[in-house]
Structure 1
């Protein structure tokens, strides 16, 4: 059974555009019409830019038309501050390439997620480490004008905590504060465990909170808010079903190298395999999400990297070390 069919049977959506692109191109063996991909490397990782330019490409990818930038940097897992600074600089560079803001334009940072659940606390953690400057226009020294962009920051919580749809809270703030741009940060679900805490996706298409874990909320998009929305996300969980399928795939590859064993399992019914996975996951309604035990450290590291990257992109005239000093 094709991987895409397996994901559909289990109702698993791919948050990462790069994973959807690799899956579709791998199964079809050809380029996706209306979609362009570019890759570049840097000393600590790789940057993949996927541009969905036509409705047909959007339909095939299951993603809106727009730009999706993925920074893959396994070094994020390590306690290497110098390497983290380079990842931060690359994040600021890529984010700056799609900001499209005038020097006097303002921005609203929104940290999506549940601060009480560590794998879902990325958004609030980024807000904790971010620099809010909008109030300084009124209460700060005059010399900051023209140096620090007006930035507001908000961690609105989740529906289960507030009883209010997150998108409604953000819409109310946007209507009142009237920013020129919203940057929403959220935790994502990945297909591969290798991407947990090491892949950063930037998209200019907005975001649908909770879609990767089957808990779709109202979309935080330009259509709903009335201003452009850039989404920044990092995978923090993987569906247990995809892990089980990956183990089975590797097991079958090893068996197929042995002609005798290959004949034994040649008639294995893929549907039966899927049903076995469903039976194991049944107590959790096939929606068991897995995260590493060191997720608290990963969330802390990534929160600092993303907050610093956003700060450098929004305040390009301020040196990174000065921004870090202002935050602290």
Structure 2
């Protein structure tokens, strides 16, 4: 079974009648592929899946470019959503670097909900934003979706943005592909560890998911190398050894883009 959370990888061999796609190219080898699923598939629900792919993020100007593209994608996906009160959710285990993208990004989001709660004077370019990082079931004993739903029911946001690490079927895409979707997310699905979905059906508000490829399997690497032999632990999950450094760069890209999307005056502050 293919271990991938990315729609553009999953639909490589599917009939085109169930989806449509288009690709945009940007300077510095950055591409954006838009996939619209037209009917529910065995893995993906009807909706939009946008993948931003890039070859490098070592330069600050490149990271700013990717962040700007992220903001543009979010604007288009949320053009019909009122965005004055937003809940940001960082999924994952911060103690495991390949799964730390969600909580580390959440920690860099500008929170303002407490200012609105206290009825303090708030900059007109800031929106009401709350942030949580619910950890994982092994740390809390609770499904992340149940924690998020409890807080969403109390906070009553107009939109929920969920950030998580994703699995890819291509080693070359690790830390080089971001997927944004308007149908939510099922935590752990890419590595066969399915949890309750975090989506509009469960939370009763629009959900945008943002994920970055951080892991793949030995099987996927062997397939890329056209190695047909079967090995024990083919589905072992792996991640690059320089994940620590690249995690910081990814967090910078995602947090800057999300902050600019939520708070129109973010770069002026």
**Within the alignment, does 1:294 sit opposite 2:242 as a pair?**
yes
Tell me which of 14, 32, 50 is aligned to 1:69.
Answer: 50
TM-score normalized with structure 2 length? 0.94
- Please tell me whether the aligned partners of residues 4 and 191 of structure 2 are also in contact (alpha carbons under 8 angstroms): no
> Equivalent residue for 1:107?
86
Tell me which of 216, 240, 251 is aligned to 1:238.
Answer: 216
How far apart, in 1, do the equivalents of 2:35 and 2:154 lie?
Answer: 34
> Equivalent residue for 1:190?
168
How far apart, in 2, do the equivalents of 1:19 and 1:245 lie?
Answer: 14
How far apart, in 2, do the equivalents of 1:109 and 1:225 lie?
Answer: 13
> Equivalent residue for 2:262?
314
**Within the alignment, does 1:220 sit opposite 2:168 as a pair?**
no
Aligned length: 267
How far apart, in 2, do the equivalents of 1:170 and 1:72 lie?
Answer: 29
How far apart, in 1, do the equivalents of 2:119 and 2:71 lie?
Answer: 25
* Deviation at residue 140 of structure 1 after TM alignment: 7.1
Matches within 5 A, 1:1-328: 8=1, 12-21=2-11, 23-24=12-13, 32-44=16-28, 45-55=30-40, 58-59=41-42, 62-76=43-57, 78=58, 80-99=59-78, 100-102=80-82, 105-139=84-118, 141-144=120-123, 146-249=124-227, 273=229, 276-277=230-231, 280-281=232-233, 286-316=234-264, 318-320=265-267, 322=269
- Aligned-residue CA RMSD in angstroms? 1.6
Matched position secondary structure for 2:17: coil
- Please tell me whether the aligned partners of residues 96 and 314 of structure 1 are also in contact (alpha carbons under 8 angstroms): no
How far apart, in 2, do the equivalents of 1:248 and 1:13 lie?
Answer: 17
The Cα offsets for residues 137-175 of structure 1, whole Å up to 9 and x where unpaired, read as 14475252x321101000000000011111110011011
Matched position secondary structure for 1:185: strand
Instruction: Give unmatched runs, 5+ long, in structure 2.
Output: none
In structure 2, the CA distance between the partners of 1:208 and 1:248, relative to structure 1 (3 Å rule), is same
How far apart, in 1, do the equivalents of 2:54 and 2:3 lie?
Answer: 23
* Deviation at residue 34 of structure 1 after TM alignment: 3.0
How far apart, in 2, do the equivalents of 1:138 and 1:107 lie?
Answer: 14
TM-score normalized with structure 1 length? 0.78
How far apart, in 1, do the equivalents of 2:64 and 2:20 lie?
Answer: 29
How far apart, in 2, do the equivalents of 1:133 and 1:101 lie?
Answer: 19
Structure number with the higher helix fraction is: 1
